[in-house]
Amino acid sequence: MSVDLSTEQYEKHREAGEILAEVRDEAAERVDVGTRHLDVAEWAEDRIRELGGKPAFPVNISIDHEAAHATPGVDDETTFGEEMVNLDIGVHVDGWLADTAITVDLSGNDDLATASEEALDAALDLVEPGVHTGELGAAIEETIDGYGFNPVVNLTGHGLGHWQQHIPPNIPNRAVDTGVELEAGDVVAVEPFATDGSGKVGEGSTEEIFALEHERSVRNRQARQVVEQVTEEFRTLPFATRWLDTDRAEMALRRLKQQGIVHGYPVLQEAEGRLVSQKEHTVIVTEDGCEVTTRSR
């Protein structure tokens, strides 16, 4: 069955991707030793809005052994050092998403950054209707292995839905027998992670990113203000503590977590404390291949 990829939904996916490609490249140029993480994150989020989109989630700035879910806190003074820096950025246009990531290596480990980049290219070369997601994982794993590193096996790429950052299908970063065949019209983010460690990540203790789990009434004023802002501005998409307009936002979020109204995203980090690199593009599966919406123009 053919899919009409000229509909408003796909045009908004494309618009989000075009904005995101520009912001990713400009943000990567701002990553330098001595620059504050917060300055880069807020610049990128403001630039997304300036170009007509909205952030689909807080800009992730993961350092060295961190793999995902790290974003600066309010008044965070942390600066970049001679480190491996992963920028993961998302844009939505009316809830239709694009997701991309790039490694900016300030640590002198160019091969690790190249491994994830080449793995992404190898997977994208295979994307078309009927390709099994396990084949994409095999291409990613083989490429990263060829550089002498390991893929992070418990992180995957994913589908992108309307106001939904992670939906099926999962795109594995290793060869697997389970999975599905991609179909024309699927919108997926392919995101290889490479590491010089064992290839698994675990949860750290830091949380700065949250998302709405259930809508229900709350009595506490600050908590109620958070729920109202989240449902109006972010819906089901992730948000940062620093985005909230409420006084005592951290206390309100703790209360909402206890009540199961929001859930947090702990920073994910390589199990042995080793370096992690990442590269990600969003693609629309077409009748005869794929369209990369987040590629630089």
Of 15, 99, 135, 141, catalytic: 99
Question: Percent helix, strand, coil in the chain (nearest 5)?
Answer: 30, 30, 35
- In CATH terms, the superfamily for domain 8-203+275-292 is Creatinase/methionine aminopeptidase superfamily (3.90.230.10)
User: Is residue 27 a contact partner of residue 59, using CB atoms and an 8 Å limit?
Assistant: yes
**Residue 1 confidence (pLDDT) above 70:** no
Q: Where in the chain is the domain with CATH 1.10.10.10?
A: 210-267
The binding site consists of 69, 88, 99, 158, 166, 191, 280
Show binding-site residues for substrate: 69, 166
Q: What is the pTM of this model?
A: 0.96
Q: Which of 35-39, 93-97, 197-201, 215-219 shows the lowest mean pLDDT across its residues?
A: 215-219
Strands 187-190 and 262-270, how do they pair? unpaired
Tokens of 144: 């990263």
CATH code, 210-267: 1.10.10.10
Q: Is 191 assigned a catalytic role?
A: yes
Q: Which of 15, 191, 196, 207 is catalytic?
A: 191
Catalytic residue from among 83, 88, 141, 186: 88
Alpha carbon of 122 to those of 139, 171, 196, 208, 227: distances in Å? 6, 13, 20, 33, 42
Known active-site residue 280: yes
Q: What is the pLDDT of residues 11-58, one digit of tens each?
A: 999 999 999 999 999 999 999 999 999 999 999 999 999 999 999 999
144 and 108 in contact (C-beta within 8 Å)?
no
Strands (E), 31-177: 54-63, 66-68, 84-93, 96-105, 150-151, 157-161, 164-171
Return residue ranges of the chain for CATH 3.90.230.10: 8-203+275-292
